[in-house]
Structure 1
């Protein structure tokens, strides 16, 4: 399942030069942000990690358009004694090519907590789920997803360990967090679902 359970393709503009992220098994990895505009004109600024050799082959320049193929990954990070989930795209291929913006994600996994269903003040239906998406070596990526409208209703009937599939886009969302030091601006990343495959017995 893990081979096709997590796929994403992005095309957008490289917002700044890549910076060193980490080294693993003798390979160096770099982190950069890709600005991918939505149809509304608002741009999602999305974190990508890629091996140095991929960046060298692509020859990407800041401001230039870059296509990224890979997977959405998660990693638990401890900051100031607290854990938080870091979401990023792990690139398997990079190419410099012009074209329309792309942000296409396909996920399949299992709910690792009960869905949270709610309505906005304007009455729009929303359902938040946390999807555990398997990958190699018996690992999993834990990815926050948000579903809308009728799809939100259907997802709200699911339970922990139910298997669902989602197609959508990875989006960034800036919010304000109140801390002991005052208000702090942070960015959250989540998959906004366009369609979802829900178990038939729950529909």
Structure 2
């Protein structure tokens, strides 16, 4: 059962470390640290994605910036309390990693950022069209984790996938494939103050409805 739960959230990325490690939290004496990795897209853009890494996997006191790395793990979320509000914080929880030489980097960029999720729609999807007529749907997918926990992963679908997702009901069982992406946006704080923030989400390339057995 434990293996099955872990299999419902799989992510693998290959990129370049672009930050030092910063302390996140400690669990039963084990420290966890955050580092950012830059992953190239098929276009000229890059995604800068946070990794959550245990101090038992890597020497977190060293500076690895500029080094190429391959990691496998899970895309996880937790709620961070900010005043009276909760903020959904997302990162890749690293289970395995290895450093790469330049000649080991994949030629196909699509292979450097892959994710698979098996979960459930946990709020009504939001379907909309851009001013240019492009179809988009936002889906929040709850993915079960061992010991009764869940991760809540924002997903964004396009075109026919968006139209399909827009008609899904809360509780629908989905399997989603795609890539992890970062996206900058601005948030209005006060009357005149604007803050630049970064959101992380899954850009969906394939979405399937799973028929659960009674």
TM-score range, shorter chain: over 0.9
CA contact (8 A) 1:60 1:96 kept: no
Task: Indicate the residue corresponding to 1:52 in structure 2.
Answer: 55
Structure 1 position 81, deviation (Å): 2.3
Task: Indicate the residue corresponding to 1:18 in structure 2.
Answer: 21
For residue 163 of structure 2, give the secondary structure of its aligned residue in structure 1: helix
CA contact (8 A) 1:76 1:86 kept: yes
For residue 155 of structure 1, give the secondary structure of its aligned residue in structure 2: helix
Q: Give TM-score scaled by structure 2 length.
A: 0.89
Structure 1 position 137, deviation (Å): 0.4
Structure 1 position 94, deviation (Å): 1.1
Structure 1 position 155, deviation (Å): 1.2
For residue 10 of structure 1, give the secondary structure of its aligned residue in structure 2: strand
Task: Indicate the residue corresponding to 1:137 in structure 2.
Answer: 147
For residue 95 of structure 1, give the secondary structure of its aligned residue in structure 2: strand
Pick one of 154, 162, 177 that aligns with 2:172.
162
2:98 corresponds to 1:87: no
Partner Cα distance (2:172, 2:19) in 1: 40
For residue 137 of structure 1, give the secondary structure of its aligned residue in structure 2: helix
2:71 corresponds to 1:68: yes
2:202 corresponds to 1:191: yes
Task: Indicate the residue corresponding to 2:8 in structure 1.
Answer: 5
Partner Cα distance (2:74, 2:155) in 1: 15
Q: 1:144 to 1:24 in 2, by over 3 A?
A: same
Structure 1 position 138, deviation (Å): 1.1
Give the ranges of 4+ consecutive aligned residues of structure 1 lying more than 3 Å apart after TM superposition: none
CA contact (8 A) 1:154 1:198 kept: no
Partner Cα distance (2:63, 2:70) in 1: 10
Q: Deviations over 1:70-110 (max 9, x none)?
A: 00000001113211100111000110013125110000100
Partner Cα distance (1:8, 1:94) in 2: 12
For residue 56 of structure 1, give the secondary structure of its aligned residue in structure 2: coil
Aligned residues: 199
Partner Cα distance (1:11, 1:147) in 2: 23
Structure 2 residues without counterparts, runs of 5 or longer:
none
Q: Give TM-score scaled by structure 1 length.
A: 0.93
Structure 1 position 50, deviation (Å): 0.5
Task: Indicate the residue corresponding to 1:97 in structure 2.
Answer: 100
Structure 1 residues without counterparts, runs of 5 or longer:
none
Task: Indicate the residue corresponding to 2:120 in structure 1.
Answer: 110
CA contact (8 A) 1:118 1:125 kept: yes
